[in-house]
Structure 1
Amino acid sequence: MNLNISITPGLLLGIMALAGIASYQFYKGRKLNLYLMDYYLRSIEEVVKPKDKDYVWLGGYIGFRAEYKVDEDNLRKFEYTLTLLPRQSILYFPISLLTSRHDKLYFVVKPYSKIKREAHLIQKGYYRFKPKIENEPLLQRDTVEVNGVEYEALFEKRRDLSLLQEFLKGFSRPSNVKHISLTPSTNVLYVFMKPEPETIGEDVGHIVRFTNEKLREGPFSS
């Protein structure tokens, strides 16, 4: 079979233009993602002040995972994972805006105090597939509103729900927070949120204060 494919000057020009745009987007997107990774890392470290730290590169320009040993006040370990949109890819970036929607930051905070009861606040309509919660059948349910955004609440005691609501309200932009929880089985505070460079220091400071003050003295640990 003979395939007679002719490349016209117009088609060649189009291919060259697309290659040029893709190259420009790659270097521009890579530079922005590297800047964001460096900025978030420095901003978080400045607040947490870890005594020891370890990083795992997630590959390419996607992000990284950090583990901090803090050993101060009520804060034993502070871990987080940053995943960024693929801004360097002109083809995949638009798709990721539909699937991932935004950059993501996952905090796992390990206090010295013992978390006695489980509680969750999950932004309604955010998850396409609801996260698995081990003891979900045993938890009470309610819907609460924080700054005009509805959250599904799962909890053992209502006073724990009130404290989580106050914690959520303390973020710079509560709507950026998609899921917060306290889990006795792993003894962790979990926060999943959309990060923003201009507010990251304020939000991390809020998480640290909550751990040092409310988790040590509040109803979660009694």
Structure 2
Amino acid sequence: MEVSSTLLFALMVVAALTSIQFYKGRKLNIQLMEHYLRSIEEIVKPEDKDYVWLGGYIGFRASYKVNRDNIRKFEYTLTLLPRHSLLYFPIALLTSRHDKIYFVIRPFAEIKREAHLIQKGYYRLSPNIENEDFLQRETIEIAGKEYEALYEKKRDVIKLKELVESLSKPHNVKHVSLTPKTNVFYVLMKPEPEAIERDVKKLVRFVNEKLRESAFSS
């Protein structure tokens, strides 16, 4: 089968663009990973740390032993858009939409009650919340976005709302929760390179100060 010169030229152009995108996208993702890693580690100051890379250029999972103040363990997973893939990147923009960072912070203080703030419309499928049927539910607004609040006591979700409002871009927070069964404070958000240090400081302060208060622990 004879390949036309036009088709051959088009294939060469696509191959060249794919190669350029790979090197540029890979470089940017590596720079982002290094930036987030250094910035978060500088704030958390772990006594021990462990990293697992996720597919080379799409992110990593970090686990820090802190054992200081009210933080026993600080874990997070960073997943980046596949900027190095010319063909898959547009699909990822539709499915994943943006870079994500998932914080899982395990305090020494015991979390006694469950509370969630979930940005409306973010999840295509509702997250699995074990005690959802027993939680009170209402809609609240934060920075022009509607969030579904699920809680046992209103004061808990008010504290979470205050935390979200204090972050650099509140609308970047997609889900924040307190889960007594696993004793975990959880935050899913879109990270911003220029604001990650400020935001992580706010999360650390929240755990060290607010999670010690009676509003959460009793």
Query: Which category describes the TM-score, using the shorter chain as reference length?
Result: over 0.9
The structure with the largest alpha-carbon Rg is 1
Q: CA deviation at 1:60?
A: 2.5
Which 5+ residue runs of structure 2 have no aligned equivalent? Answer: none
Which digits, 9 at most, give the CA deviation of each residue in 1:101-134, with x for residues without a partner?
Answer: 0000000000000000000000001110010000
The match for 1:167 is: 163
Distance 2:56 2:188 in 1: 22
Letter in 2 for 1:117: R
Q: CA deviation at 1:218?
A: 4.1
Distance 1:111 1:129 in 2: 29
The match for 1:31 is: 27
Q: 2:57 aligned with 1:67, yes or no?
A: no
Which digits, 9 at most, give the CA deviation of each residue in 1:73-112, with x for residues without a partner?
Answer: 1111000000010111100000000000000000000000
Q: Deviation above 6 Å: which 4+ runs of structure 1?
A: none
User: What percent of counterpart residues are identical?
Assistant: 68
The match for 1:81 is: 77
Alignment partner for residue 122 of structure 1, among 118, 121, 125? 118
Which 5+ residue runs of structure 1 have no aligned equivalent? Answer: none
Number of equivalences: 218
The match for 1:181 is: 177
Per mean C-alpha deviation after superposition, the further-off stretch among 53-62 and 88-97 is 53-62
Which digits, 9 at most, give the CA deviation of each residue in 1:156-204, with x for residues without a partner?
Answer: 0111121111111111110000000000000010000000100000000
Letter in 2 for 1:22: T
Q: CA deviation at 1:8?
A: 2.0
The Cα RMSD (Å) is 0.7
Distance 1:40 1:143 in 2: 32
Distance 1:19 1:154 in 2: 50
Alignment partner for residue 195 of structure 1, among 188, 191, 194? 191
The match for 2:109 is: 113
Letter in 2 for 1:130: S
Distance 2:198 2:214 in 1: 22
The match for 1:217 is: 213
Normalised by the size of structure 1, how large is the TM-score? 0.97
The match for 1:138 is: 134
What's the secondary structure of 1:115's corresponding residue?
A: coil
Distance 2:16 2:113 in 1: 56
Distance 1:11 1:145 in 2: 53
